[in-house]
Amino acid sequence: MTEKVKIAIDLMGGDNSPDKTLEGIDLFIQRNLNLNDYFFYLYGDKDLVLQKLKNLKFLKSNYELIDTKIIVSNELSPIAALKKGKGSSMWESIQSQISLNTDVSLSAGNTGVFLVMSKMILKMLEGIDKPALAGLWPSDKGMSLVLDLGANIECSEKNFIDFSEMGSALYKSLYPDEDIKVSLLNIGSEELKGTETLKNAHLKLKNLERTGDFKFIGYIEGNQITSGESNVIVTDGFTGNVALKTAEGVANFLTKNLKKYLSENIFSKLSIVFSYFSLKKFKNKLDPRKYNGAIFLGLKGPVVKSHGGIDSLGFSYSVELCYKIAKGKLIDKIKANLSHVKNLNEKG
Amino acid sequence: MTEKVKIAIDLMGGDNSPDKTLEGIDLFIQRNLNLNDYFFYLYGDKDLVLQKLKNLKFLKSNYELIDTKIIVSNELSPIAALKKGKGSSMWESIQSQISLNTDVSLSAGNTGVFLVMSKMILKMLEGIDKPALAGLWPSDKGMSLVLDLGANIECSEKNFIDFSEMGSALYKSLYPDEDIKVSLLNIGSEELKGTETLKNAHLKLKNLERTGDFKFIGYIEGNQITSGESNVIVTDGFTGNVALKTAEGVANFLTKNLKKYLSENIFSKLSIVFSYFSLKKFKNKLDPRKYNGAIFLGLKGPVVKSHGGIDSLGFSYSVELCYKIAKGKLIDKIKANLSHVKNLNEKG
């Protein structure tokens, strides 16, 4: 008998919580009815949560509700939140990895505070000096992982190598059957392009190739993020964040314009009737809620951040992400990968 | 009587040239039939060009063809190209700003070589130490300008301020009736976010506001590039290049998927018939060929780089861009703007 995956969830973070978070968990269970496979530790204001719980269809057993009255607000700075945040639903959901041996923690609350609290409670993995925020992007060949998406605005070559190892481990835990192709995001594919830091990281990653369980394919450019030729794309948090948000902006801009033109006259409106199911499939495949959830890498325990403004369906995919990375033994895989780097460093 | 705008064009750069470049000029004339308003100096291999010229409808007069036998290939490094490039169509089209007093130079050839040659021949404007590559992006409110798109991978705060002044001058020369709203691309809109360089530039630009002829609106994030709240968006060449290429990649990815789903069955195919004109308008508005052409800013003369792989329609919009910035007195406007910075520096 395998042990259940223990998922700790901050019910109070993000917009419309705890309704959104509870409905999200309910949707996750609806899609994954094997109740013997996971167990939830839920942190939130009992009075609010119990009211909502009555109306849910699937979240009936396999959970424990822990009453927490303090909520970390979105307006607090990380420093203020650390002072006031002990005992909050966010704090306790992270702390449970120590006290209750839970496997993973999830919150839709304030990103900066969640990152700082996680670092403080879980501590960094040995040898890692900067954590990274990793997220999924759809591509021509399935899904790709991009990191860092904003945890560090400046990165060293060591960070880039750590991100490659940790990102590969994460990808493997999510998609065990895929070959991993790591790349560095740059502004040209020639070896002489880019910053000195990138060039040095490129050189070292080429040597790692022999020991790591991933293939380093070199540099890629921004237009190749969606091509799928690389499925683990490494960059600094400034560039990664700009790329992610630019992509969001362009996607919104295009769909907004498409809608505008398709509803401009009776013929184009009629066309929507004929293409209804196709357009729905298109929307469905590219629905950003399906890859909601960023993973903090570099800590001794896995921590997932859901978008604060996402709805319950989006939150349910963050729950799924938690389940998958715990099931896929993310932290064991990261440790195994980091031993490659350590060996490399010791060899000189 | 006003003087004609003198446009110097390298006919040989880019794919399918000189056919593409000549057809592009022809298309430009077709759209702008006032032949008294511009004159072309065309640089290329006379034998190849004359053959093609016979078949063109509009490019019949108002040009001078200068025979150049050397072509700068795409494979050459800037250093090698400088050695071999003297007397090439690219070199001569830039040199004509000195020898023939032409107003602007255009090429679809090797970007790196074109930039280095331009710097060598035209020299930098007084007080500018780095040139920037600026390009147009469609937005909810019209067009925006983003710079630098790849000329400098690292930038100082002085560069950011120079880019703001030069970008504003360029925007004003293209869209004289628009109010100019300059922003710095960052990963958050709060003043405490971003690199030290960005924070220092932010502080200085806030003070410039009183003297410059643009409004500085602070930081924007990647998803706001297409929103139009800022129309001159300043960033370093690394970030700008990644943002531009990521946007291209996402746009391709979405349209490819949309096409796929719309042609999957008879109903969705039928829908294309009904939405044909609306989809065409959509495509037309967002056609990247319409804003083809990046402008090198910071040199004593204006220089425009067309995408090498673009077709003749795309090239015709680069010709139009040349015409507009020469007509809009770009260099005079840049000099006027830079005097603000100079005054600021002298004040302390």
Contact A252 B154 (CB under 8 A): no
* CB-CB under 8 Å, B254 with A277: no
Q: Tell how strand B142-147 and strand B232-234 pair up.
A: parallel
Residue A151 and residue A263 in one domain = yes
Q: How far apart are the C-alpha atoms of A110 and B205, rounded to whole Å?
A: 30
Are B148 and B284 part of one and the same domain? yes
> B3 pLDDT exceeds 90?
no
> What are A38's strand-pairing partners?
A5
Kindly state the average pLDDT of the residues A291-319: 95
Where residue A142 falls (left for φ over 0; alpha for ψ -120 to 50; beta otherwise) is left
Query: Residue B85: what pLDDT?
Result: 87
A338 within domain boundaries: no
Cβ atoms within 10 Å of B66's Cβ, excluding its own: 17
**Residue A347 pLDDT class (50, 70, 90 cuts):** low
At A48, which CATH number? Answer: 3.40.718.10
Residue A79 forms part of a structural domain: yes
- Best of B224, B271, B273 to disrupt the A interface (most A CBs within 10 Å) is B271
Structure tokens at B244: 């531009």
CA-CA distances (angstroms) from residue A284 to A287, A317, B8? 5, 14, 50
Q: Are residues B171 and B239 in the same domain?
A: yes
Q: Are both B30 and B137 inside the same structural domain?
A: no
Would you call B150 and A271 a contact, using CB atoms and an 8 Å cutoff?
no
Does A145 lie in the same domain as A80? Answer: no
Whether B280 and B135 share a structural domain: yes
Residue B346 lies in a domain: no
Rounded mean pLDDT of A265-294? Answer: 75
For residue A343, what pLDDT is reported? 63
Question: Does B344 map to a domain?
Answer: no
- How many contacts (CB atoms, under 8 Å) link A and B? 191
**For residue B340, is it within any domain?**
no
Bigger pLDDT: B272 vs A238: A238
Q: Is B281 helix (H, G, I), strand (E, B) or coil?
A: helix
B249, A224 contact by CB (below 8 A): yes
**Strand ranges across the sheet with B38-44:** B63-67, B38-44, B5-10, B104-107, B303-305, B294-297, B132-139, B142-147, B232-234, B181-185, B215-220
B218 and B119 fall within a common domain: no
Q: Which of B140, B256, B264 sits opposite A278 (nearest CB)?
A: B264
Asked if B153 and B85 sit in the same domain, the reply is: no
- Pick B42 or A72 by higher pLDDT: B42
Please indicate whether residue B271 or residue B103 has the higher confidence score (pLDDT). Answer: B103
Give contacts of B274 with chain A, Cβ < 8 Å: 267-268, 270-271, 274
Query: Are A94 and A8 part of one and the same domain?
Result: yes
- Examine residue A83 and state whether it is found in any structural domain, yes or no: yes
pLDDT in tens, A11-35: 999 999 999 999 999 999 999 988 8
- The single residue listed with the structure tokens 């044909």 is B276
- Cβ-count burial of B242 within 10 angstroms (0-12 exposed, 13-18 middle, 19+ buried)? buried
Tell me which residue has tokens 């939130």.
A44
**Nearest Cα to Cα of residue B344 among B198, B147, B203, B220:** B203
Counting the structural domains of chain B, the total is 2
Q: Do B247 and A250 touch (CB under 8 A)?
A: yes
Same domain, yes or no: A94 and A112: yes
CB contact under 8 A, B286 and A257: yes
Residue B337 placed within a domain: no
The secondary structure of A57-119, three-state, reads CCCCCCEEEEECCECCCCCCCHHHHHHHCCCEHHHHHHHHHHHCCCCEEEECCCHHHHHHHHH
Residues A153 and A287 in one domain: yes
For A243, the token pair is 């790329």
Confidence of residue A342 (pLDDT cuts 50, 70, 90): low
Q: Which of B331, B298, B332 is nearest to B147 (CA)?
A: B298
State which residue of chain A sits closest to B235, comparing Cα positions.
A242
In a domain, B284, yes or no: yes
Cβ of A221 within 8 Å of Cβ of B245? The answer is yes
Helices (H), A209-311: 237-262, 266-274, 276-286
**Measured on CA atoms in the order A90, A94, A100, A106, is the torsion positive or negative?**
positive
Which amino acid, B15? D
Do A113 and A148 lie in one domain? The reply is: no
Percent of chain B surpassing pLDDT 70 = 93
Q: Look up the domain containing B183 and give its range.
A: 130-290
Structural domain ending residue among the three candidates B290, B306, B341: B290
Whether the predicted pLDDT of A51 surpasses 90: yes
Tens digit of each residue's pLDDT (9 = 90 or more) over B112-145:
899 999 999 999 999 999 999 999 999 999 999 9
Res. A1 pLDDT band, cuts 50 70 90: very low
Measured in angstroms, the CA of B173 and the nearest CA of chain A are apart by 26
